Chains A and B, each alone.
Chain A
Amino acid sequence: MPKLHGARLMLTLRRWIQTLATFLSNAYWLFPFNRNIYQGNLKSICVPGLNCYSCPAATGACPLGALQNFMASLRPGIKADQHHFGLYVIGFLGLTGSLVGRMPCAWVCPFGFFQELMNKIPSPKFEIPKFATYVKYIFLALFIFILPFLVVDEFGYGITWFCQFVCPAGTLEAGIPMLVLKPELKGLIGLLFYNKLVILIVFLGWMVVSRRPFCRVACPLGAIYSLFNKHSVFRMSHDTEKCTRCQSCYQNCPMGVKIYEGANQHDCIRCLKCMQESCKFDAISYEMDGPDMATGKDRKASL
């Protein structure tokens, strides 16, 4: 009973934090009146989750959009003696990853939250093959770093490839709302927009039948954080002696991670559902910088 109570508490807490983070990332509610995006100083701060900064309500900067812009303007910047390598964004993402790994995906990413809600729609569910979960690293390398830097116009400027050709969050949070707010933009709708609309529709359908497909297959931000999963201060821990491989953790995991095949895998987002809701054998715990902070007995006692 104490564990069940604790599980419900944790789930409620996570939902509240996800909701709060979504509202804080999109707290500019004057946009219906002035028909424009927020342009205040808060936009200089990167948000830890995926949230398009052209969303009319967005109050912060999307780290992926910012990073691509740095890569796209790196060459002309160097020529003009302005050495902006995107260290501000890389430092922010690296610092966050070093502390908690992929935890922001589970707790503060609005698009991750949206996918979890979509997956609650009753439907047959399908698993995503493991090899597909490595595609996000191709998106990260190609669309965030290589193409924006290498494919440039006559002035040396690249484009934000992931934003322009892929990002369904941008279409959902910025493209569609801005077209409603600024009908004059409708004249710009072309093949590019339809391409992004198709990608959005594919992901919307996929979210219903699979667990967090965008996070697992395509999200470059999750790919960056995942590189830190094994070396962050906060890590998951799995006790192979207590584990019975009942697969309860896997069935409950929003990312389809089999923690019994290794703690801190690249898709583990540290939502703690496996520890709090699934495992009946206290085989899963978390650790901070080495020593166990919440192993079976202590965790039960504290809940």
Chain B
Amino acid sequence: MNANKKTPFGLIVLFLILLLLGINSGEVAVVLNKATKICLSCMGLG
């Protein structure tokens, strides 16, 4: 397998690890907490 073919798979493994680390450290709940509240700043109101 040449370097060009390896790169995407290396990236996939790297970001999959980051994703799992994020999930493991409770970041899913943090995202849920923010996303379920009305974000006034997103609307330009706060």
In the complex, A264→B32 CA distance in Å? 34
Give A164-203 as 1s and 0s: 1 = Cβ < 8 Å from B's Cβ atoms.
1001001100110011000001001110110111000000
Instruction: Identify which of residues 87-105 in chain A touch chain B, using a CB-to-CB cut-off of 8 Å.
Output: 87-95, 97-99
Number of interface residues of A (CB under 8 A): 62
Interface of B is mostly: helix
| Minimum CB–CB distance for A36 against chain B, Å | 8
In the complex, A174→B32 CA distance in Å? 17
Residues of B within 8 A of A195 (CB): 44
In the complex, A175→B8 CA distance in Å? 38
Q: Looking across the interface, which residue of chain A has its beta carbon closest to that of B36?
A: A39
In the complex, A226→B35 CA distance in Å? 25
Query: B15, B31, B39: which contacts A54 (Cβ < 8 A)?
Result: B39
Given contacts A52-B42, A61-B32, 8 further A-B contacts (CB under 8 A): A44-B28, A44-B32, A87-B18, A98-B12, A99-B8, A164-B42, A174-B39, A175-B42
Q: Which residues does A use to contact B, with CB under 8 Å?
A: 36-41, 43-44, 46, 52-54, 58, 60-62, 65-66, 69-70, 83-95, 97-99, 159-160, 163-164, 167, 170-171, 174-175, 178-179, 185, 188-190, 192-193, 195-197, 228, 231-233, 289-290
